Amino acid sequence: MMKEIDAKGLACPKPVVLAKKAITSNQKVLVIVDNQTAVSNLTKLGKKMGAEVSVVEESETEFRVLFKKSKSSDSENTESDAENNGAKIYLISADTMGDGERELGQILIKGFISTIKELDPLPKRIIFLNSGVKLATKEDIIFYLKELEELGVEIFFCGTCVDYYGLQEEIKVGEISNMFEIADNLNREDLVTI
């Protein structure tokens, strides 16, 4: 039997949260959403949970996303969780560092991001939210973020924040994420807040 969830009109991360709960206890789940960002977030969730994901129907106002759970999904997810334990993540929530003069804060955040690649060990992930997502539009910062990605550091940007600032077309590095994935990461990892 297939579980169906109508998540149209629900703000991030509610569609992902509802889908995750349903996938945990059902072999097939159909989630109906009304925007492409939700489809992208659901696709990431499905991959993370080891489920097959497909958009089975799409119109201007509605997307139907189908999840099919494989028999090995639960064990793969548990192994993935074990690998993440103890890894550090950095949370960058502003496009400056510190509370002083803005110009100084911009110099400091650029210096900080350019220095990360010299650290041992490297962080597993860097998450940008609020005005921190604006850093992904600055060429000199993008250069350092691409270097970090090449070294294996995962770069995530809050999708709600990217949408709020209208930066969808300007993000050229990393992944657009969602609040469920961000909260899940913050819950599991050693956190360094910038």
* Residues found in the chain: 194
Query: Residue 156 in 3-state DSSP?
Result: strand
Task: Look at 9-13, 145-149, 160-164, 189-193 and tell me which has the smallest mean pLDDT.
Answer: 189-193
Residue that has been written with the tokens 């759970």 in this structure: 69
* CA 89 – CA 124 distance, rounded (Å): 6
Residue 89 pairs in a beta bridge with 125, 191
Indicate if 9 and 72 belong to the same structural domain. Answer: yes
Bigger pLDDT: 45 or 79? 45
d(CA 134, CA 2): 41
The reply to whether omega before 121 is within 30° of 0 (cis) is: yes
pLDDT band at 84; cut points 50, 70, 90:
very low
Residues 51 and 121 occupy one common structural domain: no
What whole-number distance in Å separates Cα of residue 106 and Cα of residue 44?
32
Same domain? For 68 and 109 the reply is: no
| Domain boundary residue, one of 20, 52, 80 | 80
118 pLDDT band, cuts 50/70/90, is: confident
Give 120's Cβ-side CA count (13 Å radius).
Answer: 0
Contact 20, 45 (CB under 8 A): yes
Query: What is the structure's pLDDT at 128?
Result: 97
Please tell me whether residues 56 and 113 are part of one structural domain: no
Averaged over 6-33, what is the pLDDT? 89
**Where is pLDDT greater, at 126 or 71?**
126
Confidence band, pLDDT 50/70/90 cuts, at residue 97: very high
The CATH number given to whatever domain includes residue 65 is 3.30.110.40
- 187 or 110, which is more confident: 110
Judgement on whether residues 16 and 64 belong to the same structural domain of the protein: yes
Q: Which residue has the higher pLDDT, 36 or 97?
A: 97
Q: What is the pLDDT of residues 120-155, one digit of tens each?
A: 889 999 999 999 999 999 999 999 999 999 999 999
Same domain, 43 and 133: no
Among the listed ranges 2-16, 75-89, 137-151, which one has the minimum average pLDDT value? 75-89
At 152 the pLDDT is 93
Residues 51 and 106 in one domain: no
Question: What residue numbers bound the domain in which 25 lies?
Answer: 2-80
* Helical spans, DSSP H, in the chain: 14-25, 36-48, 73-84, 102-115, 139-150, 159-164, 179-188
Domain boundary (28, 49, 80) is at 80
What string of H, E and C letters represents the secondary structure of 113-124?
HHHHHHCCCCCC
Peptide bond into 15 cis (omega under 30): no
Select from 80, 110, 134 the last residue of a domain.
80
Query: Residue 2's CB: how many other CB atoms inside 10 A?
Result: 12
* Domain identity same for 105 and 151: yes
Instruction: State mean pLDDT over 70-87.
Output: 50
Q: How many domains does the chain have?
A: 2
Predicted pLDDT of residue 149: 95
Q: Provide the CB-side half-sphere exposure for 151 (13 A, CA).
A: 18
Round the average pLDDT of the chain to a whole number and report it.
Answer: 87
